[in-house]
Amino acid sequence: MKAFITSDSLKDFFKDGMRVMVGGFLANGTPEILIDALQASGVKDLTIICNDGGFPDRGVGKLIASNQVKKLIASHIGTNPLIPGLIQEKELEVELVPQGTLVERIRAYAGGLGGILTPTGLKTIIEENKKQIEVGGVTYLLEEALGADLALIGGATCDDYGNLKYRKTMRNFNPIMAMAAPLTICQARKTNFIDPDDVVTHHALVDYIVVEEE
């Protein structure tokens, strides 16, 4: 059986300067209980890897609002009005990555690859300081694989073993992030049984689960 833990014990896993992946899309499928525990731990200088900057009071935006994030690697920051000011004040570094490129960089790390080749971003600021490789007469950017120390995932239902299935669009980024960190913690609803055909994330990829209260 998987290790089911309480949110109070999560502080033991958090350290200053960690690279943390957070699943979900605009707080849909984002593990709010896990983010709250990370915020309450007081750790700082985090690098957060996620789809977006969340909102000031939801998703990873709560960590940004409490000045715990040193760098944000994301595809979109427009829903969080705090971010532009923090960038101007040099209190937050932001690396914008096209969404498809972001998920493929994470997938590359999960698969043990060094990176991917993509034409996305050529002739834009995205190509700055990146290696260009020509294959078959076509030029690509080399986008390096992207991993983390910890993955926090949500939007899931788990069984007794820790196998996961996801609730509709809440699976955004969560399954692939579960494969790209040595430590994965999931926030999930609990059920007794998941049909093997419905399992998306195998329990071997999940280290700890915090069960949502009904």
The superfamily (CATH) of domain 3-211 is: Glutaconate Coenzyme A-transferase (3.40.1080.10)
pLDDT at 214: 66
pLDDT at 1: 52
Prediction pTM value: 0.94
| C-alpha separations of 111 from 98, 106, 108, 180 in Å | 20, 9, 5, 8
Give the integer Cα–Cα distance in Å for 141 and 120. Answer: 8
Q: Give tens-digit pLDDT for 96-119.
A: 999 999 999 999 999 999 999 999
| Secondary structure letter of residue 13 according to DSSP | G
Of 88, 51, 55, give the one whose Cα is nearest residue 73. 51
- Those residues with Cβ within 8 angstroms of residue 12's Cβ, 6 or more apart along the chain or in another chain: none
| Domain edges within the chain | 3-211
Give the integer Cα–Cα distance in Å for 154 and 89. Answer: 32
Indicate if the alpha-carbon torsion angle 179, 107, 127, 74 is positive or negative.
Answer: negative
pLDDT at 2: 66
Which residues of the chain fall short of a pLDDT of 70?
A: 1-2, 214
The secondary element (H helix, E strand) that includes residue 100 is helix 99-110
pLDDT at 213: 81
